[in-house]
Structure 1
């Protein structure tokens, strides 16, 4: 029995430390995300883009990024040296004041339209997002229509500023950008100066559709 008690006491002492070590390892693995496929040689000199919890990166160079369950997770993105295109949204959450009805959300969610920023990344450099930080929900709502974020280097200089994303990745169709034609029966239609497959057009539209629009499309498709 004395040996059994000694074993239990030892586990109580060292188990929390082991758990903390494991969680620390998981956290570091989660917060550094590679943005390329394969194992390119220049990955050894990858740059780092630091994204705070309110910036949600969805695509880098046309490649979809993982959506984590925790929205308030600050992440680092490893970027290959050279031209990079980053698509993201800005999202803040504000607690509601007063009584909240049963089933009603307890927070206000303020989210920007998808933004895109393009900049030249230098080997081993570190970059971050810089943007106005509202102190109140009203300030956040008022600033949302004109929201823009800059990419800033370690010297504090801004390299580029984001703008609203059209839904088309610069690298998506082998250097041939898609455009929007006005005046069709549906209001807008995708066109291109060169041939683009219907599948690529559907993919580009699907990426920009809201959840309600996707559900409506699926209902129509399976009727």
Structure 2
């Protein structure tokens, strides 16, 4: 029995170690989220936007970001150099005091309306969010109607302040950055037109896609 018990303990320890390694392996690919389609040349020196657990990025340049199992993950988002539009939500959780009834949530969830921030990302630069941290649930609730976050550079300079997101406005102007036009004297064949079309298509609205297809097949 002692030998069996020792074997069982060793087996549990081995499984725990394997699970820990698996979790690390699963977490590493999503710690940095790419925000473009294809393999644009500018991606080799992309900028980085670091987000804390309270910030959940939902769209970048009109492109929906992935849904993750845990909403409070601190993630890094890779941005192509140039103008970027980031849509996000701020969410904070507070434990309820007193008795909680059956099937009732044990926490208060305080969430902002979707916010957008637009800024010019510099190749290789790192950006982060800054916002006021509430000291209580009541203060968090008071903050939400006028919530705004600032995006700052690695030097601490403010590059953008968020405002309430307007989906109608975003569908007209948000686009994933597209590679620059060929330099003077370069052949038009040197430009990957397919990548450009993919970048625009990924961020087009349903009506824009329908209009394009009607034009293409006329």
TM-score of the superposed pair, with normalisation by structure 1:
0.71
Q: Counterparts of 1:91-110 in structure 2 under 5 Å?
A: 91-110=91-110
Determine helix, strand or coil for the equivalent of 2:84: strand
- 1:69 Cα deviation after fit: 2.1
**Cα displacement string for residues 120-147 of structure 1 (whole angstroms, at most 9, x for unaligned residues):** 1111111101000011101101111110
- Mean Cα displacement is larger for which, 26-35 or 14-23? 14-23
Instruction: Give the conservation status (yes or no) of the 8 Å contact 2:131–2:149.
Output: yes
**Between Structure 1 and Structure 2, which shows a larger proportion of helix residues?**
2
Identify the residue that residue 156 of structure 1 maps to in structure 2.
Answer: 156
In structure 1, the partner of 2:211 is none
Any idea what the Cα deviations from partners look like across 1:29-58, whole Å, max 9, x if unmatched? 122110001000110001110111110111
Residue matched to 1:200: 207
Q: 2:129 — aligned with what?
A: 129
* Structure 2 equivalent of residue 204 of structure 1: none
Partner of 1:39: 39
Answer whether contact 1:96 1:108 (CA < 8 A) is retained: yes
What is the aligned length?
A: 177
Counterparts of 1:19-168 in structure 2, within 5 Å, are 19-168=19-168
Partners of 2:8 and 2:105 in 1: how far apart? 44
Q: Is the 8 A contact 1:87 1:116 kept in 2?
A: yes
Report what 2:200 is aligned to.
none
**RMSD of aligned alpha carbons:** 2.8
| Contact 1:34–1:78 (8 Å) recurs in 2 | yes
Partners of 1:163 and 1:9 in 2: CA distance: 55
The answer (yes or no) to whether the contact 1:62–1:169 under 8 Å persists in 2 is: no
Distance 1:175 1:71 in 2: 25
What are structure 1's unaligned runs of at least 5 residues?
Answer: 1-6, 177-196, 202-223
Secondary structure (helix, strand or coil) at the match of 1:139 reads helix
Rounded to whole Å, the distance in 1 between the matches of 2:143 and 2:86 is 21
Q: Distance in 2 between matches of 1:112 and 1:59?
A: 15
CA contact (8 A) 1:61 1:86 kept: yes
**Secondary structure of the corresponding residue to residue 108 of structure 1:** strand
CA shift at 1:157, angstroms? 1.0
Q: Distance in 2 between matches of 1:38 and 1:29?
A: 17
Larger RCO (alpha carbons 8 Å, 6+ apart): 2
Is contact 1:49-1:78 (8 Å) kept? yes
CA distance in 2, matches of 1:198, 1:91: 27
Taking the aligned partners of 1:106 and 1:10, their CA distance within structure 2 comes to 37
